[in-house]
């Protein structure tokens, strides 16, 4: 997942199983659980919320989420914002990824009249729309720092939950190697 660094977990597993070939696969929000359920990967770092059906999950870490705004946005210079201050903004991502925004009373009343969400599949595409003033994003701080650009700023959101990152694996394909990876990753990330 963008912003999630897996190096420590992969190295810990490689130290535990030196003869095991480990491949790292990039995923996205849209496919983060699908790659586990269809067997393309054995484990995946996923950003919550996800549909838990068919999965086992173990929390790994949490990180703050920030509002991603055009550099000239009216809120761009603030030290922090509340989620309600973003209610009138066009969200450029799946509203289910930001239930705190989606469920604001102003949003619920406006849903009948809001314009359709622009279709952008990657963080890079979404950031282009933000820079162009088409809307905003709410992202984990590690994603924003990974994609630093001069025409986009981020502002901490003071009243929403952190982004939770979990390890996910198939409930239907138990494996000692998967259990070993989960334990190794948890130990590596705890340090």
DSSP-assigned beta bridge partners for residue 156: 66
Domains of the chain: 7-61+164-190 (3.40.190.10), 65-156 (3.40.190.10)
> Helices 7-16 & 176-190, crossing angle to 10 degrees?
130
| Max Cα distance, the chain (Å) | 58
Residue 117 pLDDT class (50, 70, 90 cuts): low
Alpha helices by DSSP H, the chain: 7-16, 34-37, 99-102, 105-110, 123-131, 141-146, 176-190
Decide: pTM greater than 0.75: yes
Residue 191 pLDDT class (50, 70, 90 cuts): low
Q: What is the pLDDT of residues 123-164, one digit of tens each?
A: 899 999 999 999 999 999 999 998 989 999 999 999 999 999
Name every residue whose Cβ is closer than 8 Å to that of residue 29 and which is 6 or more positions away in sequence. 1, 47, 93, 94, 97
DSSP code for 91: B
């Amino acid at each position: 997942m963008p912003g999630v660094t897996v190096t420590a977990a992969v190295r810990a597993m490689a130290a535990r199983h030196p003869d095991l070939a480990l491949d790292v696969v990039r995923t996205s929000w849209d496919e983060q659980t699908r790659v586990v359920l269809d067997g393309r990967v054995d484990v995946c770092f996923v950003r919550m919320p996800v549909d838990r059906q068919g999965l086992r999950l173990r929390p790994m870490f949490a990180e703050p989420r920030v509002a991603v705004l055009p550099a000239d946005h009216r809120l761009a210079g603030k030290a922090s914002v509340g989620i309600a201050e973003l209610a009138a903004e066009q969200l450029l991502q799946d509203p289910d990824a930001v239930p705190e925004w989606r469920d604001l009373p102003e949003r619920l009343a406006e849903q009948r009249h809001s314009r359709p969400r622009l279709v952008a599949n990657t963080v890079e595409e979404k950031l282009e729309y933000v820079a162009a003033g088409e809307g905003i994003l709410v992202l984990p701080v590690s994603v924003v720092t990974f994609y630093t650009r001069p025409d986009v700023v981020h502002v901490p959101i003071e009243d929403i939950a952190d982004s939770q990152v979990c390890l996910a694996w198939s409930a239907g394909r138990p494996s000692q190697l998967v259990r070993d990876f989960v334990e190794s990753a948890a130990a590596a990330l705890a340090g």
